[in-house]
Structure 1
């Protein structure tokens, strides 16, 4: 698989994402459902934004690894949050996770009025290639 990052500007570099990610010659693609801060027994987290980001990312990891893919091959990571104002102060949790796993995805951040459960604040939707 060949991955090519497309960044016509530099401003997004400090935020840890790419404007575009081109993938050629890949073997497979994994489209992950939105992963929120849900416990292993299917209960929504009551935690703050940073705690919910951490649990949501752990859930992304479980899906990606169980499917046999590598986290570094996440090429798209869409973010749905009920509060952008709460999200950005906790952004370091996400940025650290992406840096740790060498992830530089294309990404979209959207504020939504609600997620599946009223307690949920964040949900990640990942696309992974092999």
Structure 2
């Protein structure tokens, strides 16, 4: 697999994403549905935004790993949140995770009116190998 990052500017670097990712010679693609802070028993978290973000990241990592892929090869990551204002103070959690895995992914952040039950953040990914 070969990845090429397209960044006409530099400002997105501080926000932990890239403008575009071209991928060639892909062996396989994994489309991961939105992962949230839901326990292994299927119970939606009632925790604060920071905790829910950490739990959503853990669940996303688990799905990706169990599928035999690597977080480093996430090429698209959409973030859905019920409150951008509540998410921003905890964005360091996301940025640290991106840095830890040396990710270079195209991303979109969308504020939505609601998510399932009590959830505040959801992560949807496309991963290649």
Q: Which runs of 5+ in 1 are unaligned?
A: none
Partner residue, 1:121: 120
**How many residues of Structure 1 are paired with residues of Structure 2 in the alignment?**
129
> Is 1:76 the equivalent of 2:66?
no
Q: Which runs of 5+ in 2 are unaligned?
A: none
Q: Deviations over 1:86-113 (max 9, x none)?
A: 0111100000011111112100000000
Shift of 1:12: 0.4
Shift of 1:116: 1.3
Partner residue, 2:86: 86
The runs of 4+ residues in structure 1 deviating greater than 2 Å are none
> Is 1:66 the equivalent of 2:81?
no
Shift of 1:43: 0.4
Give the TM-score of the pair, scaled to structure 2.
0.98
Partner residue, 2:10: 10
